[in-house]
Amino acid sequence: MREKNDPSDLSRERFEQIRPILEQARKRTKPVTVDMYEVWCAVLYLLRTRCPWRALPSDFPKWRTVHSYFAKWSEVDDEGMSLLERALKKWLSENLSG
């Protein structure tokens, strides 16, 4: 497990507040084999640094795994919003308020 060492990381406690949003994309037939917190931190890192997928530091999950979650979370729903947008809005509102 990675140490919290990137400015875009958030605490696991704060992540638990957005986990239910992100898990809506999960297939119920497959067990989760990757730490969702680490995937979320990797996505935040990629968004902040704009680094290429293949240049994702090795202390994050594999880039293909992160990309797979990012693609699923980015799918727009019937209301015109993705799970990623919903999670980011919740995360940002909580960061700005406290």
pLDDT at 24: 87
In whole angstroms, how far apart are CA 34 and each of 40, 49, 63, 92? Answer: 11, 22, 12, 24
Distance CA 96, CA 77 (A): 26
Average pLDDT over residues 39-46: 94
Average pLDDT over residues 21-31: 77
Sorted by sequence, the CB contacts under 8 Å of residue 78 that are 6+ apart come out as none
Distance CA 20, CA 6 (A): 23
